[in-house]
Chain A
Amino acid sequence: MTSQIILSTSGATKRFGGVTAVNNVDFSINRGEVVGILGPNGAGKSSFFNLLAGAIQPDSGTINFLDQDVTSWQSHEMCAKGLARTFQIVRPLKGLTVLENVMVGAFAKTRSVREAKEIATSAIELVGLAGLENVVSSNLTLGFRKRLEVARALATKPEILLLDEVMSGLNPAELDSFLEMLRSVNKDGVTLIVVEHIVSAVIQISTRIVVIVQGSTIANGTPSEVINNKLVIDAYLGELDYEVS
């Protein structure tokens, strides 16, 4: 793994009314990593996520992506540059088929319908939805809809994929195969940032974990470092038995 920083924030701050959701956060991620972001509800994870994705803009601080200042950039600009995201509550383009959904993603990087179809088809295969191309997306179950989210984001050929609590609502069997899928996506060269609730899942898949509590980072290290970190245990995890593989 090359240790080359592709996305970083410096002093990122976001306030909503009187609440400081993201408090002066410094963050960086190297190419090829899988960084998990943990933290209690309302701790600022989602706001931080949306800052990275360009859905909202910081009140102060900077965001840097692939050696460019993208602080004021919006989501479609971030997407064009190579940062894709999924939504916590999945948002399939309901009237469109699986293939059409993913092709919209592919069009972020190409003009040709034929090429978009090719890109879409391989993304669909990578996430394990092969065979369902012509199913209207509103007919998919939740697990498949989540894979569709990922496929659509992958079709934009991103450097980084931001996953927003993508595993909630999946049963253990679905979760395992989902994690497998994410591993192969990462192996394919896509850097992942995974914001999650399901601690065990994040520990299994991340190369590094960042814990955000009340808008600030309180821990940043390997999974075993983080779960044994006293601050983290006090603020968030409690005494838990976790196995790190």
Chain B
Amino acid sequence: MSNAKKQITLWLSAVIVLFLITLFSSRQGYFVGHLIILTIISAALASAWNIVGGMAGQLSLGHMAFFGIGAYTSTLLYTKMEISPWFGLILGVLLSSLVAFLVGIPTFRLEGSYYALATLALGLSLYQLSVKFVSITNGAQGIAIPFKDSFANMSFSALWQYVLLAGSYLIIVLGVCSYIAATKLGFQLAAVREDAQAAQAIGVNTMRVKLIAGTISGGLAAGIGSIYAQYILFIDPHSALGVNIAIQAVVLSVVGGVGFVFGPTLGAIALIPISQIILKNFGASAPSLHILIYGAVTILVALVAPKGIIGVLRQISSRISNRSKAGQND
């Protein structure tokens, strides 16, 4: 199958899958619909993270900052100036990209752990700032978003419409990831991830390549933040800028397969529904049980199956094809 045909089939299947999921969710009750939307949103954020964290191998611990910039930008513009969240989303993406770029400049020159620490510092800073500057962000009380359903307000009355909204965004993010993976940038990112010094010697401008990945990653994360805000209709420092947001992105990607285009999505499918169900049933008595599971699963996967679910699937499929080859030789 030629490359172009592959691309078209992939896109078509993605659209069909989205359509089917949307159809499915329109028949479900609130809990299942909500679950699907949360899974998609988490998958989109984790996939955005994956560009810098997985493909470039630069572990960011601050993606809550970008998510939060998106959420707060569109929300503030909407609630205070009645600007459509669609514009707010785009503005948030641009602002977030800029911030990601600026954070990258001092840190990408140095070894990977510094980027992790600096992004964590960024996220924690924005959290503190949003708590403090009450006049802008309403502080810890958060901002409630008024609901007036219309397309222009990115507000919808049926859950399946949010599924479509978030799902389309996820497809865009995945599209960006696939594009990167299939072009020069993807190869160069992989080289930097594997061995930055060797990559530099073969002509890869590691700084430039990391900056591009970091900027795109930060920008895309903001968009899903805006969508989240418009769905939940309430944001506060904890839900939009909390550390757990960043950590979840890492966990989902690691479990699903860090560096692979569909890894974070598989991770989201594997973990989010379970964690939401646990939250629902044990939320009162054991509120952080799902975090415990996240932690344990992360350790397990990182040590035993470092390529995540996708790695395991690939191993199984190559073993099957090896067996069938062996069978053919008999």
Q: Which residues of A contact B (CB under 8 A)?
A: 53, 55, 74-76, 79-80, 84-85, 87, 91, 93-96, 100, 103-105, 107-113, 116, 152-153, 155-156
Contact = CB atoms under 8 A, between A and B. Distances in A.
Contacts of B183: 113
A85 to B, nearest CB: 6
B315 interface: no
- Most chain A CB within a 10 A radius of its CB, from B187, B198, B201: B201
23 contacts: A53-B201, A55-B201, A75-B201, A76-B200, A76-B205, A84-B202, A91-B195, A91-B198, A93-B191, A93-B194, A93-B198, A96-B194, A100-B190, A103-B187, A104-B204, A105-B203, A107-B187, A107-B203, A108-B202, A108-B204, A112-B184, A116-B187, A153-B202
B194 A107 contact: no
Interface string B194-231: 11011111111110000000000000000000000000
A155 B202 CA distance: 9
Contacts of A156: 202-203
B182 interface: yes
B307 to A, nearest CB: 9
Nearest to B194: A93
Nearest to A80: B203
Contacts of B190: 93, 95-96, 100, 104
A76 B204 contact: yes
B191 A104 contact: yes
Contacts of B205: 76
Contact of A105 (B194, B197, B202, B206): B202
Interface of B: 182-184, 187-188, 190-191, 193-195, 197-206
A95 B194 contact: yes
A106 B161 CA distance: 46
Given A95-B190, A96-B190, A96-B194, A87 B201 contact: yes
Nearest to B182: A113
- Most chain B CB within a 10 A radius of its CB, from A107, A109, A156: A107
B110 to A, nearest CB: 16
Contacts of B202: 79, 84, 104-105, 108, 152-153, 155-156
Residues of B contacting A: mostly: helix
A75 B188 CA distance: 15
A80 B200 CA distance: 10
B219 to A, nearest CB: 22
Contacts of A116: 184, 187
Given A91-B195, A156-B202, 7 more contacts: A76-B204, A79-B203, A85-B201, A93-B199, A95-B193, A104-B187, A116-B184
Contacts of B198: 87, 91, 93
Contacts of A103: 187
- Most chain B CB within a 10 A radius of its CB, from A76, A105, A110: A76
A107 B206 contact: no
A112 B191 CA distance: 17
A26 B259 CA distance: 46
A153 B201 CA distance: 9
The 10 nearest A-B residue pairs measured at CB: A108-B203, A79-B203, A93-B194, A91-B198, A104-B191, A105-B202, A75-B201, A107-B184, A76-B200, A104-B187
A22 B229 CA distance: 61
A84 B202 CA distance: 7
A75 B206 CA distance: 11
A79 B187 CA distance: 17
Nearest to A94: B194
Given A85-B201, A113-B183, A76 B194 contact: no
Contacts of B203: 76, 79-80, 84, 105, 107-109, 156
Contacts of A84: 201-203
Given A100-B187, A104-B188, A113-B182, A91 B197 contact: yes
A149 to B, nearest CB: 9
Nearest to A79: B203
A150 B190 CA distance: 19
Nearest to A157: B203
A37 B187 CA distance: 33
Contacts of A80: 203
A27 B199 CA distance: 27
Contact of A113 (B184, B191, B197): B184
A155 B191 CA distance: 15
B229 to A, nearest CB: 37
Nearest to B183: A113
A23 B271 CA distance: 61
A30 to B, nearest CB: 24
